[in-house]
């Protein structure tokens, strides 16, 4: 029997930085399929992710049927769902948790908000472990928030039972593009020592300046506003998400 190492292989700090510097969000892929052993390793990594209370409150819908892939691509307005070698819809899943409890002779309690909290956490941890494993194997990928577009139709298409909610999509494959590395805001705005610290106006200005190069007009605030200001796309998604949370017994709508 092969022994499992007590600690992972040690990389130098620079190797770790190089690994994450190589990360790119990729939407165009070469058609090469993933070898079965690569896909197996990626899914293995996903299932080794941390999980709250051992519950593993997530499921992956792997899209293999060309027709379903195209429908998901159309509903989410993300064409690479149909063209990536591997495409997944990553879901929080407390439906299976209920079934396991019932099989063991117990009832599931009533905790819809907590289910969303920990279900999303489990789904994110598993999905990001999947993506990291893929990148270690030489692939790139893309997290897709567009699952919230036409969310009700997506839930119906995938026949998701109550307690299962799409969180995001994830596509993986060999990249067929070389996008530029995207900047990030300064660390001082995201790491707080002991207590939350309100940023200074000058720090906010610096953050806007740092992120400006990713936009066509050099105005990151304008980009954020398209999503998060009144009338932005997030308000539209809010309505649909609340309706689906109620439908899936994960909230009061």
* Per-residue model confidence as pLDDT tens digits over 85-125: 999 999 999 999 999 999 999 999 999 999 999 999 999 99
Q: Is residue 121 part of a domain?
A: yes
Structural domain that includes position 52: 15-180
Q: Is residue 218 part of a domain?
A: no
pLDDT (tens digit, 9 = 90+) per residue, 18-32? Answer: 999 999 999 999 999
Per-residue confidence at 252, pLDDT binned at 50, 70, 90? low
Q: Is residue 39 part of a domain?
A: yes
Please, are residues 128 and 45 in contact by the beta-carbon 8 Å criterion?
Answer: no
Q: DSSP string of 56-76?
A: --EEEEE---HHHHHHHHHHH
pTM of the model: 0.93
pLDDT at 253: 46
Q: Is residue 221 part of a domain?
A: no
CATH number of residue 79's parent domain = 3.40.109.10
**Sign (positive/negative) of CA torsion 62, 67, 70, 71?**
negative
Q: How does 7-39 read in b/e, with b if 16+ C-beta sit within 10 Å?
A: eeeeeeeeeeeeeeeeebebbbbeeeebeeebb
Q: Is residue 252 part of a domain?
A: no
Q: Is residue 168 part of a domain?
A: yes
- Domain count for the chain, please give it: 1
* Beta-strand runs (E) in 42-163: 58-62, 86-93, 140-144
Q: How many residues are given for the chain?
A: 253
């Amino acid at each position: 029997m092969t022994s499992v190492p007590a600690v992972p292989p040690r990389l130098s700090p620079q190797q770790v930085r190089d690994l994450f510097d190589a990360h790119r969000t990729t939407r165009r892929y070469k058609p090469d399929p993933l070898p079965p052993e690569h896909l197996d390793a990626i899914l293995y990594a996903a299932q080794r992710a941390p999980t709250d209370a051992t519950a593993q409150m997530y499921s992956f819908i792997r899209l293999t049927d060309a027709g379903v892939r195209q429908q998901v691509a159309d509903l989410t307005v993300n064409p690479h769902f149909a063209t990536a070698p591997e495409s997944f819809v990553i879901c929080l899943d407390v439906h299976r948790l209920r079934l396991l409890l019932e099989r063991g002779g117990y009832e599931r309690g009533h905790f819809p908000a907590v289910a969303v909290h920990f279900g999303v956490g489990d789904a994110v941890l598993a999905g990001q472990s999947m993506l990291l494993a893929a990148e270690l194997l030489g692939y790139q990928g893309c997290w897709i928030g567009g699952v919230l577009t036409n969310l009700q139709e997506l839930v119906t298409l995938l026949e998701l039972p109550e307690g299962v909610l799409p969180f995001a999509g994830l596509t993986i494959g060999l990249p067929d593009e070389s996008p530029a590395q995207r900047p990030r805001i300064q660390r001082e705005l995201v790491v707080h020592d002991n207590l939350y610290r309100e940023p200074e106006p000058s720090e906010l200005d610096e953050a806007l300046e740092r992120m400006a190069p990713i936009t066509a007009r050099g105005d990151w605030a304008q980009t954020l506003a398209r999503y998060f200001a009144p009338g932005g796309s997030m308000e539209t998604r809010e309505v649909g998400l609340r309706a689906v949370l109620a439908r899936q017994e994960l909230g009061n709508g």
